[in-house]
Amino acid sequence: MTGKVPPLAIASGLPSGTDRVADDSLVATSSAREVARAWESFAGGEDIETGIRPEILASWYRCRDRYDVDRTLDVAPGARGEDVQRLDNGVIFTTLGGLGALAGQEVERDGAVVTVTDGDGRVLGAWGDPTAQRRAELHNLAPWSSWSEQCTGTNGMGTSLEVAGPVTVTGPEHWCEAFHRWACAGISIRDVVTGSPVASINISRWNASLSDLVPSWLTKAAACVEQEIYRRAIYEADKVISEFNKKCAHFSGPFIAMDRGGNVVAANEAAVSLLGCTDENLTFAGAIEPAKRWLPDISGLPEVVRWARKRAQGSVQWSGYAYLPVSPGEHATPLTMLPVVDSNYVVGMLCAFGLQEGEPYEPNPEAAVSSLPPRIVGMRNDRLVLLAPSEIRYAEADRNIVWLVTERGRIQAATRGLDNVERSLAPYGFSRVHRRFLVNLRRVAELERGIKSELFLIMDSRSHESVPVSRRHAPELRRILGV
């Protein structure tokens, strides 16, 4: 990544001398009419799996079944008034705002608008053609309005915050009918530590399509901004490891240092032994590079880290503890969280096992219940796949991408992150057996021992399809299966 973004081409190419387009040009094509008919049927309650791009159809399902967005909405609601999310935001949003302003100058002649949002979909700035901006303001596409999917349905900004990579939403692909004459393309800028979106940049054009080059430009623009996030992540890791080294001698039991996302950046020998980590670099040097950090296989730990970050914000002296099952099948162990603070901002956590100190963590049972979907949504090629939980044999994580292995083949989950998929599938008899695998226990056909007493679950005896079981999970799995 060089930090430089190439010139931006927005227009698909208007005839020479033409500066306006026909009133129905974006919705009059045969493909747009087909999408409009599918949207009408789907919004009326029917389920469809083909004919609509999978990322758009997945968004429609979220809008209809999870967020209950009113499709007759014609004005985006105002955003909440809390402070903008902070991830060294001064540098990040300055860089993003600069890109937006430059892009706005380039797209002004094409009748387009460039907008920048925070990670919640709140518009922070808008640039571009004054006429297009005035039209956009009729829908409240303007600063301090909320364009998240949850508030405003399928759109370039909100949908890009839900998925990775650039997203285009054209005409009737928008969930709200009032936006069917807009074409837009957006991309989220993600935190390299947590994987969560912290901002987005979007380009919108009234009643005319966007150039095929726009997604490529958005990808390069996002990479330019993410350089700042990467540099900040390296700086933060150095701070966390330094604090870990200062305090490590005070703890005889397992002791680890984590970044803001709950990934281990350093651990003492007792923690390495307890958690089964084989990377000695975590013990001696620490993991500066985000890609080399390690997520502990402790159920509920990511939620506890998020809680601790929020509670400790701005307070160096804060501490809190939670009881978590460090080893499956064993009694929960107290874990005390100590924040690492830099410039009044929590950059990481130190975690002492077996210590109970500070504010107690109280889980929110309503959060798990509200996240359960009526169906499991997957994506394959050009279609959306709706799965009953019983169809899924197991789920396998490849970083944030989760693959569902089913009778219909290997299907990518529409939800990112194995922890999120686990919350959806746990009520249907699924259990974590490995840091990368989640298994439908009702579909286990056989158990097999390896040459070193490793345990494998045979999910399909015909193909000898197997899933490894980690040593930490083996005792609890034997208890559940009665073997």
Residue 321 predicted with pLDDT over 80: yes
- Cα separation of 186 and 163, whole Å? 11
> Among 78-92, 223-237, 277-291, 447-461, where is mean pLDDT lowest?
78-92
Average pLDDT over residues 80-96: 63
The most confident of 26-30, 184-188, 212-216, 415-419, by mean pLDDT: 184-188
pLDDT digits (tens, 9 = 90+) for 24-56: 578 778 889 999 999 999 999 888 877 888 889
CB 100, CB 120: distance < 8 Å:
no
Which CATH superfamily is 372-481 part of? Answer: LytTr DNA-binding domain (2.40.50.1020)
Residues belonging to the chain: 483
- Spell out the domain ranges in the chain: 30-231, 251-363, 372-481
User: In the chain, what percentage of residues exceed pLDDT 70?
Assistant: 88
What pLDDT sits at residue 120? 92
CA atoms within 13 A on the CB side of 36: 15
The contacts of residue 227 (CB under 8 Å, 6+ apart) are 1, 3
Q: Tell me yes or no: is domain 251-363 CATH 3.30.450.20.
A: yes
> Among 18-27, 182-191, 240-249, 434-443, where is mean pLDDT lowest?
18-27
What pLDDT sits at residue 15? 39
The most confident of 98-107, 267-276, 347-356, 428-437, by mean pLDDT: 347-356
Angle at 27 between CA 25 and CA 31, to 5 degrees: 110
- Cα separation of 440 and 460, whole Å? 12
Please choose, from the candidates 474, 405, 399, 475, the residue with its C-alpha nearest in 3D space to the C-alpha of residue 440. Answer: 405
Higher pLDDT, 198 or 7: 198
- Cα separation of 186 and 256, whole Å? 38
Please choose, from the candidates 400, 458, 462, the residue with its C-alpha nearest in 3D space to the C-alpha of residue 433. Answer: 458
Q: Do domains 30-231 and 372-481 have the same CATH topology?
A: no
How many other C-beta atoms are found inside a 10 Å radius of the C-beta of residue 14?
13
Higher pLDDT, 408 or 368: 408
How many other C-beta atoms are found inside a 10 Å radius of the C-beta of residue 173?
29
- Cα separation of 220 and 470, whole Å? 39
Average pLDDT over residues 70-78: 95
CA atoms within 13 A on the CB side of 195: 18
Supply the pTM of this predicted model: 0.77
What pLDDT sits at residue 21? 44
The contacts of residue 27 (CB under 8 Å, 6+ apart) are 33, 36, 171, 172, 180, 181
Average pLDDT over residues 105-128: 91
CB 448, CB 413: distance < 8 Å:
no
The dihedral formed by the CA atoms of 9, 13, 17 and 22, expressed in degrees to the nearest 10: -120
pLDDT digits (tens, 9 = 90+) for 153-189: 999 999 999 988 899 999 999 999 999 999 999 999 9
113-149 CB burial, b ≥16 within 10 A, e <16: bbbbbbbbbbbbbbbbbeebbebbeebbbbeebbbbb
Average pLDDT over residues 298-303: 85
Please choose, from the candidates 215, 173, 179, the residue with its C-alpha nearest in 3D space to the C-alpha of residue 56. Answer: 173
CATH fold, domain 30-231, is: Beta-Lactamase (3.30.450)
pLDDT band at 141 (very low <50, low <70, confident <90, very high): very high
Please choose, from the candidates 59, 16, 250, the residue with its C-alpha nearest in 3D space to the C-alpha of residue 163. Answer: 59
What pLDDT sits at residue 202? 96
pLDDT band at 19 (very low <50, low <70, confident <90, very high): very low
